[in-house]
Amino acid sequence: MLIPKNAKLVLMGDSITDMGRAQPVGEGLFDPFGRGYAAQTEAFLNARYPELNLYIINVGVSGNTSRDMVSRWQRDVIDLKPDWLSVMIGINDVWRQFDLPHMQQTHVYPDEYEQNLKSVIGQTRQTVRGLIMMTPFFIESNLQDPMRVQMDRYSAITRKVAQRYDCLLVDTQAAFDEVLQHVHPARLAWDRIHPNQMGAAVITRAFLKTVGYEF
């Protein structure tokens, strides 16, 4: 298990991380972590390793793009002083290009996406003990689907930035692709974006494997 005793782990992201978490910060009592992979991850880590006394915080914000993430990085990451940090962003950067094609001011194209990641990861990498980057995903098995093609471009950027800054990488798209060999996307998410509990478990399992969780 890579995350050490008494570590504070902050989970940064969009609605996939948010999933109804407590505001202003997803921490503490009364189901503060939402109903997605963040809640599952917190539960599995602290049930399996209670002796580590891990402090997990969910700061996902529904609808966020990487541009939005940059604007709140000081408040939701730097000010929280995490020991470990996980970042999954990019789904809305891509999605807005398809569901709001006429609102180009909302679009975050690949060059800006890469710069946004480099900006926040670059300034933070040396201040945390561990940094995990998670690829954005589209739960679609047709690799020629236009949105899947674009999402794969953003996933490739995430992998490149993770390698540049020596981050752990959770390839969530690959995790979903493995399951999609056996089930239809609707079994995992009604809109191919927001996972149900089964879909959330796919992300959770990939995350836990990456940090050396002993199942």
Residues involved in catalysis: 15, 191, 194
Cα 153 to chain centroid distance, Å, stands at 16
CA distance 71 to 180: 35
Beta carbons of 165 and 121 less than 8 angstroms apart? yes
Q: Which among 108, 204, 118, 95 has a CA at the least distance from the CA of 167? A: 118
From residue 133, alpha-carbon distances to 30, 166, 167, 168 in Å are: 28, 10, 6, 6
CA distance 140 to 151: 10
